A and B are shown apart, each in its own frame.
Chain A
């Protein structure tokens, strides 16, 4: 992709070096204790909370001049959040950006894991709104930390029980609780549960940043990530009766798009790059 002009007067990747070191220390600790939420001194960033202030700080701390950055929002490379963050890093670092999952060394994401399997050496940075999975059960921070410390997670199943009692199945579709490395309960940011299995034993390093809540956590490469469930109601991902109407993929997460006022709708891949690359392979002229 065409390099955007870098701006003068800012340190590399916007944050000052001391801040980046502080964040890297938090990241190292997070990697050492998979799934554990490490507090860090989150900075004011030039975008509002909820837009990825946590993810952007993590990316700023790990990015180097040789990195290739991809940013996705809901699986797409061309939505506002993705475009803005990609341009932000292009202008403050001058690194190469890409939409290709395979080319990228760092992928910052909001709400999705790319369909293309990640590989060794890649870093996936998640933007996390609320890192504490137990907040639903317990409003007190001191108490949730104690519950993490003592692995008191049994009550988390109350939420799943309630889903089955009300709907007949586990109706939660996103932000689905996982246990990392058989120890810490983790909130996988609001990715659809369709993506939960991709976190398990993933060769890429997965970093999670929550800016407002000032927490960083991580899933190191090749770490077990297990979604909570019941023996008689096992974890299941969503599936569709359709294939993607653009590329024909039957194995990807689909978005339902309303086409007109008469209720016509089509199902397309949420991961726009995956969809496009499949179409290019089928019909090289499309690109």
Chain B
């Protein structure tokens, strides 16, 4: 690929006291690419995601992001104001629990419109139009635009959360176990939707998951973590079909056959 990477993570490390949650993590993410981070619970996946998404300052290493203007921003060296602007505009963050990422006391339309208003949209009609369009894109019934997210099912809430993040047309989305806690049929539908959205919008994504099926379906590349370290990385099919590291082999063999 001759393009320069969208996101570069260099020798990233974070410790909780003396316990290293992740160490020496290095990878590049190219525009339009989806990267899955897999590993068992406690392997440092979520800490890694929080460090690269501007929520948790890493102890060591750098996170470089290529902004829309084509400049390379060191996520943890730029001012807090620009970092926060980045998280509101160029990035999206999908939480595992949709209630963490939604305002449950305002309507679905207000949830989708929030980012637009945060970056200066001041015409109600346009915001509403955009919200309606996004409800359609994530397969929500646009007639429910004024309903509270609390009246939505878990799968609908998750789709609402995704649309709320994508409305500002971010170029990079971070997703923390986006399908965990949903039943299998809803998971399948959501995965299908995510796959469609990432390919249609040319969106790059870092998806943390412990579900190898999610990685296989969505991710171009997969990074396997164990005890805070990257043990294997490569094309998803390669990693999952021909695992080299003993831990990856264990992980792949312990997945139930579909």
Binding site for B on A (CB under 8 A): 146, 150, 152, 154-155, 157-159, 161-162, 164-166, 230-233
Contacts and interface: CB of A to CB of B under 8 A. Distances in A.
Say whether chain A's binding surface is mostly helix, strand, loop, or mixed: helix
A162 B122 contact: no
Interface size class of B (residues with CB under 8 A): 20 to 34
Given A230-B124, A232-B125, A162 B110 contact: yes
Contact of B114 (A150, A158, A230, A233): A158
A233 B124 contact: yes
Cβ-closest 8 pairs across A and B: A154-B118, A157-B117, A230-B124, A231-B123, A162-B106, A150-B81, A162-B110, A154-B117
Contacts of A165: 107, 109-110, 128, 145-146
Contacts of B84: 150, 152
A164 B113 contact: no
Contacts of A233: 124
Nearest to B119: A154
Nearest to A137: B103
Interface string B129-152: 000000000000000011000000
Given A158-B114, A165-B110, A230-B122, 13 more contacts: A146-B80, A150-B81, A152-B84, A152-B118, A155-B117, A155-B118, A157-B122, A158-B106, A161-B106, A164-B124, A166-B107, A231-B122, A233-B124
B107 A162 contact: yes
B109 A161 contact: yes
Given A150-B84, A152-B84, A165-B146, A158 B110 contact: yes
Say whether chain B's binding surface is mostly helix, strand, loop, or mixed: helix
B127 interface: yes
Contacts of A154: 117-120
Contact of A150 (B80, B117, B125): B80
B123 A161 contact: no
A166 B107 CA distance: 9
B113 A158 contact: yes
Interface in B61-118: 80-81, 84, 103, 106-107, 109-110, 113-114, 117-118
Contacts of B109: 161, 165
Contacts of B127: 161
A161 B120 CA distance: 13
A210 B209 CA distance: 48
Q: Which of B123, B127, B145 counts the most chain A CB atoms within 10 A?
A: B127
A14 B157 CA distance: 56
Contacts of B106: 158-159, 161-162
